Amino acid sequence: MFIYIIKRLLLMIPTLIGVVTLTFFVTQFVPGGPVEQMMTQLRHGQQRGGEGGGGGSAYHGSQGVDPQQIEQIKKQFGFDKPPLTRYLKMLRDYARFDLGQSYYHHQSVWAVIRSKLPVSITLGLWTVVLTYIVSVPLGIAKAVRNGSRFDTATSVMVLTGYAIPGFVFGVLLLMLFGGGTFWQVFPMRGLTSDNFDELSAFGKVLDYLWHIVLPVTASVVGNFAIVTILTKNTFLEEIGRQYVLTARAKGAPKRDVLWKHVLRNAAIPLLTGLPAAFIGAFLNGNLLIETLFSLDGMGQLSYDSVIRRDYPVVLGSLFLFTLIGLVTKLIADVCYVLVDPRIQFNSLDR
C-alpha cells in the first residue's frame, strides 16, 4: 500500500503541471486580458473627461493611452516580463503553495477562495447528505420490489427530477414559495438574515436552515436518480449471486440475507464513492443556482474571474481543486482496498 500511495503521489506532479501549463498558455494569450481592459477603461475615462471638461484640460481620447501608462499597467499585472518568465515564477510559487494575488479583489487568492467556500460547502454538503439519505434506501426498496408498481412510479419520479434542470426547478420554487407569485414562505436570497448576529444560537440554526431550503432543494433533486439507480442495480446484481441463492436455500430469512450479506457487498461502491461525490459537489459550484438565489460562492467566483480575466484566481483555484480532486481519487482507491480486501493495488494500477 505504501509503495502504491507514493507512486500515485509522484504521478500527481506531472498531472498538475500539465493542467496548469495548458491553462496558463490559454489564458495568457486570449484577447481582452487585464491590460487591455485597463487601457479600455482609461480611454473611456479620457473621452468623458475631454467631453465634459473645460479650461486648460486637453482632450487626449483620440491619442489613446500614454505609452508610459501602458508600461505601468503591464508592470502592475506582471505582464512586463516574458511569458516563460511568468510561467516559471508561477510554478515556483505554486510549489510553495503561494497562489498569488487577485487582480481585482486586492487580496490573496487563498483569501478569496476561503471567503467563497462556505456557500459552496453548504450546498455541496447538504446535497450529498440528502442524496444518500434518500437515494440509498429508495434504491434498496426498488431492488427488493423490482418490476412492481412502486419501482415504476419511483423511477418516473427520480428520472423526471433528473431531467428538469436545477435552475428551472429553482425558478419554480421561488415562484411558489419565495413570494414570486403565490406564497412568501422562504427567503429569496442569501444564507442568513441581516440580523443574523443578533440572534440566539438556536435562532441562528433556524435562520440558516430557513434560508437553505430552496437552494438545496433545487440542487439535490437532480442527483437522486444517479445514486438511486446505482444502488438498485448494485443490489440486484448482488441478489442474483450464488452466495445469496445458497443462503436462501439453507433457509436463511430473506431480511437477514439482505441486510447481513447483500448490503455489506453492495454498499462498497457507494461508500468508496462518497468522498469523491462530496468533493465534487462543493468544488464544482453551481453558477445558475448561486445566481438565482443570490449566493456568492465558487460558481460565481469562477464565472467572474474568467470574465474579468483575473488570471491568478483562475489558475490558483484550478491548481488547488485539481490537487484536491487527485488526492480524493487516491483516498477513494485506498477505501476500496480497506473495505474489500479482495481488491489488490496492482489491479487498481490497471
pLDDT at site 149: 92
In angstroms, the CA 79 to CA 28 distance is 9
The three cell numbers of residue 21 are 501549463
- Contact present, 154 and 249 (Cβ < 8 Å): no
pLDDT, one tens digit per residue, over 225-241 is 888 998 898 888 888 78
Per-residue pLDDT band for 134 (boundaries 50, 70, 90) equals: very high
pLDDT tens string 161-178: 888 888 888 888 888 887
Backbone angles phi, psi at 207, to 5 degrees: -65, -40
User: Residue 154 — very low, low, confident or very high, per pLDDT cuts 50/70/90?
Assistant: very high
> What pLDDT digit, counting tens, does each position of 262-320 carry?
877 777 777 777 776 767 666 655 778 888 888 888 888 888 888 888 888 989 988 98
Report d(CA 228, CA 220) in Å as an integer.
13
What average pLDDT does range 19-25 have in this prediction?
89
pLDDT at position 138: 92
Show Cβ contacts of residue 217 under 8 Å, excluding neighbours closer than 6 positions.
169, 173
Looking at the chain, the number of H-run helices and the number of E-run strands are 18, 0
Q: What is the pLDDT of residue 62?
A: 37
Strand-pairing partners, residue 184, are 178
Domain layout of the chain by residue ranges: 118-292
Q: With contact defined as beta carbons under 8 Å apart, do 257 and 248 qualify?
A: yes
CATH of domain 118-292: 1.10.3720.10
Dist CA 4 CA 216 (whole Å): 38
Contacts of 308 (CB under 8 A, 6+ apart): 34, 37, 103, 104
pLDDT in tens, 141-150: 998 888 899 9
Do residues 305 and 313 make contact, with C-beta atoms less than 8 angstroms apart?
Answer: yes
Cell 443570490: give the residue.
294
